[in-house]
Structure 1
């Protein structure tokens, strides 16, 4: 925590307190816990909010620093911003329930929850949520959090490639927070929707990484990328 700024410490404390709160409610009021982790519930809305915030932070940095970097940097930063924005929209089904918008016939027939989103789509007998957004994304997140920082630190070629595409790399403190929070969520909570809390933690930590990545000087410094 000593490597974090005051703002980052505040955000990290908020994460810890909200996770501890979820654990407390799980053991003291199961019906209220169900409400917290339901669709468009407290934690799902927080997930969406931090994914959008991460996306907007990337866009802010893109417009601030894009003149200093090449086309690949622009593509990388914009793709990451788009990915975070897409995730935020998917979490709340693009505001469908907020604005009381009915799903089209296509989504009613092909979406497991009859919602306007892609991650609950069913192709044949295959649920995309399980195939892509659970299995595949879990592998990608593992590579991003655990492998990418090692490659950035130990391989000059990989470091240059990662920086060229403007990919924000997690600092050790981000990884420690992620591991601790994951253990806090998965160990004590025995509930099918505990992953809603984990997704919220992931979104908040992604915001922290983008806000102040390990390679801040290399990709968000205002210096020419050589």
Structure 2
């Protein structure tokens, strides 16, 4: 069993840091925001997940103060859009580093759709979008107290857009949605389209 400390991994054996490949698959935070000046941003985030269910809450982590984090904290709102296999190319296009004012929606050929309770738009083609209001943001620090220059934005879900076609027998058919996730490094993804069930053990 190989053991190493993150800063001293054996680079002859692991020239690429495997951290993101080991903590996988990770859902993608495809986040749309609107700034105070009306500018709209859409970007995928590798560090993203649900963090609470009562009330439902999401969190995404921004490396540096990128537009999504800045706009979300300015406006107090953001929207998570579900990236599916059919939307994989469009999602990837929105990861490009564009200048302020350039539209990721336009670059990816995506139509904007209005939300009900927040000002930020959602991705019209996504079968699910969650409108969120920011609860708080946290700047991450390492064990020595130094800033990691990563900023986690926590949002409470206040509105849900859901394509009724994905509902079967009163439950969302996640496999039919074919959500995509990150699996490490820069270009590896997975699609969730096969599931199995296990009963929880009795207490």
Task: Indicate the TM-score class for this superposition, using the shorter chain for normalisation.
Answer: under 0.3
Report the TM-score, using the length of structure 1 for normalisation: 0.23
Report the TM-score, using the length of structure 2 for normalisation: 0.25
Q: Which has the higher helix share?
A: 1
